[in-house]
Structure 1
C-alpha cells in the first residue's frame, strides 16, 4: 500500500512526528499511528464491503488525514473516520471536511 501511495503522490509529512529522531525514523513512526493501522487492517479484511469506519478519541493528525485520502482513492472504498472534533468522510481522494482537519 505504501508504494502505491508514493506512486500516487503521497509524501509523508514528518512535522507530525514529534520524536527527536532522524528523518527516516520519523517516517517509520508515522506508519504506527493508530488510524493508519486500523484502516490498513480493515482493507485486509474488507470481504466485499464498501465502507470502512474508524472511531478514535483524539484528533487526527494532518499526515494521517492526507494518507487516508490516498488510501480511499487507491482502494476505491469510502473511509469514515470519527475523531474528537468531527466525522471525516473520505471518498475518491477527497474528505468531507474540505481538508479542515
Structure 2
C-alpha cells in the first residue's frame, strides 16, 4: 500500500496528464504500467542475480542510470533496452523501483 501511495503522489505531481482523469483512475493505471515495465528488470537485476541488484537504489540514481544508457553510445543489452523506453517510461520505472523496499 505504501508503494501505491508513493506512486500515486509521484504521478500526480510529476506527470501532469494532458487530460484530467478521475483521481482513482490514473494512479492505478499508471501503477500497473510502472509495475509491468519494471517486471522485466527483475529478471536480470533481482535478488541472487549475477548482475547489479537494484535493491536499495534511489529513484534519482535509477533515473540517471537509465537515461545514461538511453542517450549514450553502446550496444549492451541495457543500451538496447533503454533506447526503447520513453522519458515517461524511465520516470515510471525509477519511481516504482526506487520506492520498493
Q: Same fold (TM over 0.5)?
A: no
- TM-score after normalising by structure 2: 0.42
- TM-score after normalising by structure 1: 0.42
Give 1 or 2: higher helix fraction. Answer: 2
**Which has the greater radius of gyration?**
2
Give 1 or 2: higher strand fraction. Answer: 1
